[in-house]
Amino acid sequence: MKIRLNGDTAEFKEGLTVSELLRELEIEPRGVAVEVNMKIVKKKDFEGFRLKEGDSVEIVSFVGGG
């Protein structure tokens, strides 16, 4: 399936969950926020939230600084 990932087109297996997407991208879920089609997905829902063809996904990493 094709999705928009942070503004770029990307292809992944059908029925991928947010958790599986983060694992494939080697991203630690604790340090990110995920938005699908302009709606925030709660961390507790990552395992069960399935992505669909054409979804727009934004992954934002938290960065500390001072």
Domains and CATH numbers, the chain: 2-61 (3.10.20.30)
What pLDDT does 62 receive?
A: 81
pTM across the whole model = 0.91
What pLDDT does 66 receive?
A: 61
20, exposed or middle or buried, with CB in 10 Å at 0-12, 13-18, 19+? middle
| pLDDT digit string, tens, across residues 28-38 | 999 899 999 99
Q: Does pLDDT of 50 surpass 80?
A: yes
9, exposed or middle or buried, with CB in 10 Å at 0-12, 13-18, 19+? exposed
The two structure tokens encoding residue 10: 């990307």
